[in-house]
Structure 1
Amino acid sequence: MQIFIAGATGVIGRRLVERLTDVGHDVTGLVRDDDGAALVEARGGTARYGDVLEPESLTTAMAGAQAVVAAQTALPVKDKPTDEDWARNDRVRVEGTRNLLAAADESVQRFYFPSIVWIARLPDGSPFDEGADRHPDRATQSAADVEDLLTQAASERDFDVTILRLGFLYAPDAGHTHQMGEQLLAGDLPIVGGGPLGRRDAALSLLHADDAASAFVAAMDAEVTGLYHVVDDEPVTVADFFDAFATELDAPSPRRVPGWLARYFVGREQVNVLTKSFPTDADRFRRAVGWEPSFPTYREGLEQVVGTWATDGTIRESSTGYEWGGAGTAESLSAVMAGP
């Protein structure tokens, strides 16, 4: 297919460019500058300049596309994002998708959207599936809005929509994964828990970014439509994830901080994602396309993350263990609380 990707330089987008071209698709990536063009072209894609917030730039960029991936975000990277920061992300996600829909001509047959599973987490923290009601918060409302926008557009126009709700993403080149690793080595990353003393742990469903990309390729090959959850095999508590990460890095065991206290430093949205459980599974997606994750659990995924960092110079060995080198390249528009 001729595939157009908005957000082609992001953690998922750049993986999609490479994987889709590897299996024979003709991929065009939307970029805003020469650095973005170099990223897309190095992975086998064709770069076209434009901006999802500039509708006039999209008509030419999307010409001939048979499938569109709406993976654009503007996720804030501040320790405590403001409402203005979230409003910018809302605009890129929602208005950007509206502009993509308006620019899509009769050649477009399919739209794909990487959403997030925790917009449907249940108030009591129990397991849920694709049929659960959504409960978005300030950080994730825009993902819910895009789901609605695409679903409505598909009912009015002649194309299909596939929404993959992804688990909590991590990867060697993801900005928040870099932040976690650096802070763990410095002894500055606490386990944020619920309850007065922070002893109540949330169970999260995770997904390595490589597996997120492979899921989209599998969905395209199988030509499935509709809504699916895509996560790895084993939900994990924040405490176990951070402890395992620290062990891989030979870093100090992280201390605990209650969520009510952490809100003063990082904001409500970041605390919400770490203290409210969202255990789910990918059973429906697996039955539909036969997909399996390359990293079945966080254990294999964290081993790959740390191994990559040791190779590319992000971390280096010292007399007391690893220390942060920072030579690796992180995705700058990645945030833990609002998804891909």
Structure 2
Amino acid sequence: MQVFVTGASGWVGQKVVAELLDHGHTVLGLARNDAAADKIARAGARVHRGELTDPASLRRGAAQADGVIHCAFIHDFTRFAENCEIERRALEAIGDELSGSSRPLLVTSGTGLLSSPTGVVDERSRALGPNPRIATEQLVDTLAERGLHTSAIRLPPTTHGAGGDHGFTPRLIALARATGVAAYIGGGDNVWAAVHRVDAAKVYRLALEKSAVGARYHAVAESGIAMRELAAAIGRGLGVPVMSKAPGAEAAAHFGGFTAFASMGCRTSSQWTREQLGWQPDRPTLIDDLEHADYFAT
């Protein structure tokens, strides 16, 4: 298949491109600048110039493809709601181009949007609440109702791998380095699901080849890592003390704008994804990655 990939030069997108090429697909990668174009070309993919804020460029890319994988997002959290609306319009444009065909569209979402009264979320769970990113998941269903072959890949809070500064775990490392303390909130029992980005890329490729309309797939290798365990690994890596911060003012003073993320948690199942796609993650766990990779290099 010829696959149009947005975010092709990004943290996860780079590995998605490599996975597709390794399995005989060709890739057209969206590039918003020369640096992104260079990464995409060096990976062996074709370059398509454009960006999320230019719907016409997205339609032109989708027009050349047998399928689309959407990995891009503008990671400026000071304009989060605006960037979610940009993403919604971008997906609408791609959907318009794919309308009337069976060409698949895979949309990236996150397990962090989910909650469950049982404490465990799975692929049947649906995102609810005020978070503006939820509109992306809802659009998957809207497009499916219009006859498009859409599905979503949900990534966990930490999609890790050596050499990266992307995602929540590097934020915790930077905070521990700045404050001299690797902290968690309360008893540190809240958990983050995790996956290595190479394993995540396999889910995208398998879902492209096998996806069901309207399905959600969980690229989750570890269902839940306790925050106190993650803080302990960061403390070992940096050689700083590990301590609890009381919920409320003490936690907010330490974590600042990251407090909500540091306190969130939900155990996440990927059993259905593994059964449907035949996916078996085999890359290092998050804690093993922290022990042996270069997260703490300065």
TM-score (normalizing by structure 2): 0.87
Query: Residue 244 of structure 2 corresponds to which residue in structure 1?
Result: 256
Query: Residue 146 of structure 2 corresponds to which residue in structure 1?
Result: 156
Decide whether aligned partners of structure 1 residues 250 and 263 sit closer, same or farther in structure 2, where only a CA change above 3 A counts. closer
Decide whether aligned partners of structure 1 residues 145 and 267 sit closer, same or farther in structure 2, where only a CA change above 3 A counts. farther
The answer on whether the counterparts of 1:52 and 1:100 sit within 8 Å (CA) in structure 2 is no
The answer on whether the counterparts of 1:66 and 1:107 sit within 8 Å (CA) in structure 2 is no
What is the count of residue pairs matched by the alignment?
Answer: 293
**CA deviation digits over 1:235-285, x for unaligned, max 9?**
1111101212333x25223332234234356556x3223213210111000
The answer on whether the counterparts of 1:3 and 1:26 sit within 8 Å (CA) in structure 2 is yes
Query: Residue 260 of structure 2 corresponds to which residue in structure 1?
Result: 272
Q: Which residue identity is paired with 1:130?
A: E
C-alpha root-mean-square deviation of aligned residues, in Å?
2.5
Rounded to whole Å, the distance in 2 between the matches of 1:64 and 1:16 is 18
Rounded to whole Å, the distance in 1 between the matches of 2:25 and 2:60 is 19
**What pairs up with 1:299-310 in 2 under 5 angstroms?**
299-306=287-294
Rounded to whole Å, the distance in 2 between the matches of 1:178 and 1:275 is 16
Rounded to whole Å, the distance in 1 between the matches of 2:171 and 2:224 is 22
Query: Residue 44 of structure 1 corresponds to which residue in structure 2?
Result: 44
Q: Which residue identity is paired with 1:147?
A: E
Q: What stretches of structure 1 of length at least 5 have no aligned partner?
A: 316-323, 325-340
| Mapped pair 1:207 → 2:201 | no
Q: Which residue identity is paired with 2:287?
A: R
What is the deviation of 1:134?
A: 2.6
What is the deviation of 1:27?
A: 0.3
Q: Name which of structure 1's ranges 168-177 and 25-34 shifts more when overlaid on structure 2.
A: 168-177
Other structure's SS at 1:272 match: helix
Q: Which residue identity is paired with 2:74?
A: A
Q: What stretches of structure 2 of length at least 5 have no aligned partner?
A: none
Q: Which residue identity is paired with 1:120?
A: L
Rounded to whole Å, the distance in 1 between the matches of 2:60 and 2:127 is 36
**What pairs up with 1:110-125 in 2 under 5 angstroms?**
110-122=104-116
Decide whether aligned partners of structure 1 residues 204 and 137 sit closer, same or farther in structure 2, where only a CA change above 3 A counts. farther
Query: Residue 336 of structure 1 corresponds to which residue in structure 2?
Result: none
Query: Residue 120 of structure 2 corresponds to which residue in structure 1?
Result: 127
Query: Residue 192 of structure 1 corresponds to which residue in structure 2?
Result: 184
Query: Residue 99 of structure 1 corresponds to which residue in structure 2?
Result: 93
The answer on whether the counterparts of 1:192 and 1:259 sit within 8 Å (CA) in structure 2 is no
Identity of aligned residues (%): 21
Rounded to whole Å, the distance in 2 between the matches of 1:230 and 1:274 is 21
The answer on whether the counterparts of 1:286 and 1:292 sit within 8 Å (CA) in structure 2 is yes
What is the deviation of 1:118?
A: 2.0
The answer on whether the counterparts of 1:119 and 1:135 sit within 8 Å (CA) in structure 2 is yes
The answer on whether the counterparts of 1:69 and 1:111 sit within 8 Å (CA) in structure 2 is yes
Other structure's SS at 1:39 match: helix
The answer on whether the counterparts of 1:117 and 1:165 sit within 8 Å (CA) in structure 2 is yes
TM-score (normalizing by structure 1): 0.77
Rounded to whole Å, the distance in 2 between the matches of 1:174 and 1:212 is 17
Query: Residue 87 of structure 1 corresponds to which residue in structure 2?
Result: 81
What is the deviation of 1:73?
A: 0.7
Other structure's SS at 1:62 match: helix
The answer on whether the counterparts of 1:203 and 1:237 sit within 8 Å (CA) in structure 2 is yes
